[in-house]
Amino acid sequence: MLIYLAAAFTLLAISLYTLNYGSTLWRSGHKPAGAFTWILALAVVAFPILVVVTT
């Protein structure tokens, strides 16, 4: 359980960084890259939640 929690926090940190990077790209005018980054970040956020819920 602790391993799952650590993995979830790691993924959350990565996704927060990705969201920050994605919004920076978005502001600088790279719309497709920004949209892809948001989708990727949402998928990364959803995964640990699913893992925690299903265990």
29 vs 52, residue with greater confidence: 52
Residue 1 lies in a domain: no
Task: Provide the pLDDT confidence category of residue 44 given band limits of 50, 70 and 90.
Answer: confident
Residue 3 lies in a domain: no
Residue 16 lies in a domain: yes
In the chain, the number of structural domains is: 1
Please give the pLDDT value at position 20. Answer: 74
Q: How many CB atoms lie within 10 A of CB 30?
A: 14
Supply the DSSP string of 2-50, one letter for each residue: HHHHHHHHHHHHHHHHHHHHHHHHHHTT-HHHHHHHHHHHHHHHHHHHH
Residue 49 lies in a domain: yes
The domain in which residue 41 lies consists of 8-54
Residue 35 lies in a domain: yes
pLDDT in tens, 3-38: 877 887 887 788 777 777 767 766 776 665 556 767
Helix, coil or strand: residue 53: helix
Indicate whether 41 pLDDT > 70: yes
